Amino acid sequence: MTKILVADELAEEGLQLLRAAGEVTVKKGMDEDSLRATLPGYQALVVRSATQVTARSLELADDLALIGRAGIGVDNIDVPAATARGIVVMNTPEAGAVTTGEHAMSLLLSLARCIPAADASVRAGKWEKSKFTGVELFGKQLGIVGLGRIGRVVGERARGFGMTIAAYDPFVTQKNAPDGVRMLDLDELLATSDFVSVHVPFSDETKNLLSRERLLAMKKGARLICAARGGIIDEPGLCDALAQGHLAGAALDVFAEEPLPADSPLRAAPNLVMTPHLGASTHEAKRNVSIEMARQVALAVQKGVVLNGVNVPRLAPADAAQVGPYLDLARNLASLLVQTFDGPLESLRLTLQGGIPASANRSLTVATLLGALRPSVNGMLTPVNAEQVAKDRNIRVHCETSSLKRDFMVLLRVEALLGGKRHFASGTVLGQRHGRLVELDDYVLDAIPEGPMLVTFHDDRPGVVGHLGTMLGNAGINITRMQIGAAAKKDGADQAPALGVLNLDGAPDQDLVAKVGAHPAIRAVRVVL
């Protein structure tokens, strides 16, 4: 069974899902040395924000194939180090979006009406109504920096208060923006917005995105909210902008260093509301991210389908139901080809016909590579390193789409150049669940391309199939499904052999395969696992 290590708090519902997928160990509160010593032997690691997954902690984790972050940010995971080791890193970017967006709105409202300072004043025995005069939200412009899932939640909530919404996001055009959202460049958004809420991930590109210069270029009297990640806002610059009165206030849930140091100048900054990284801290969010991550880990472990991959081609959960069965099919068809036909793999071509989303092309290509490479790769092979392994072996890979030409609404075709000879397998999915092999070179059939299988090329005459069944039965192996395909006879050519595809309940050993192949009517036999 797959061994799964859970290193941080996870809801019981999530743990139950994980236990159905593998052997689960919960061990919380580990430092770098403890994690480094514990990871060997585990195939999957699940964390939240507390556990720091460093390059050193991964040095001995030779079996680790997957790290799941139950939450949005992955700044506690050394993603480049994981990638270098072929380890998939995935997160749950949508499970906590509502909670984080609502917290941003809470900060905005608290800031607009001076609620934290007023509360502290009343508790101190004072009654200072005139000191805490706030501002209305109605008619004010909210500038959203980063129009992803959380930014859109904030925009929807803010419209309910009668705010006008502007946004900056280099990946969203005006055409693709939600109704009522005006897309601006960053400098114009900062200069014209009464409130600015930040919702971008932390990266080299977004580090100090709101620099001292940009903070001082904001509209005078504006208010700034950040519930994204620390390091996006220049904290010393923010202190200056508040002290000078250029900004009327700010609210931060995240900081460049967490916990916030006792001597941080932010603690003395005026008109600043601070919370200790509470963006995803609701009962609902903790439960949702736990369940979502557990489902993703189980799907990756059981089906090899990676959702929300950080360092692999991203497949969104919304596409998983449609695309997931085709990932299995692409992997199985490629594996069938390289195990059925002889010769070194030189190139792969994946052709898609029908209604598969174009956004899934790279994920399908990687799945094809995994199927084609796995029989010959002894070490770690994951969606992270499959493309690099193919490159190192000089295997050419190409994916294309074509118009529908066959009697299937959706058809997936894998071509492999093996030892200078081109072979292909075509398949489709029935009922969005059941993958089918419908073509193998010149043979037309309806088979399930899942191992273990016995594939035979044999004389098309009576008694051969019965002989195969007898030999397998005597060895205690049951045939669960069988398909026979006959190739079209070409003019002037000898009769082509029939194709047998036998799904088995167990893999035959080499001695049995040799006995099957020794029969005079059997021209070739292959085991596909």
CA proximity to 72, closest of 256, 279, 273, 221:
279
Q: Are 28 and 7 in contact (CB under 8 A)?
A: yes
Q: What's the rounded Cα separation, in Å, for the pair 493 and 485?
A: 18
Q: What's the rounded Cα separation, in Å, for the pair 423 and 338?
A: 9
Contacts of 254 (CB under 8 A, 6+ apart): 226, 227, 228, 229, 230, 277, 279
Angle (deg, nearest 10), helices 12-19 and 283-303 = 10
Q: What's the rounded Cα separation, in Å, for the pair 80 and 83?
A: 5
Contacts of 56-64 spanning 24+ positions with Cβ under 8 A: 56/32, 57/32, 58/82, 58/85, 58/87, 60/36, 61/85, 61/87, 62/380, 63/3, 64/39
Q: What's the rounded Cα separation, in Å, for the pair 390 and 243?
A: 57
Backbone angles phi, psi at 281, to 5 degrees: -95, 70
Q: Which positions are catalytic?
A: 229, 258, 277
CA proximity to 190, closest of 147, 141, 153, 157:
141
CA proximity to 221, closest of 189, 190, 249:
249
Q: Is the dihedral of CA 171, 176, 181, 182 positive or negative?
A: positive
Q: What's the rounded Cα separation, in Å, for the pair 301 and 279?
A: 30
Amino acid at 246: H
CA proximity to 310, closest of 295, 324, 296:
296
Contacts of 447 (CB under 8 A, 6+ apart): 436, 437, 481, 483, 501, 503
CA proximity to 331, closest of 371, 303, 299, 387:
371
Q: Are 223 and 248 in contact (CB under 8 A)?
A: yes
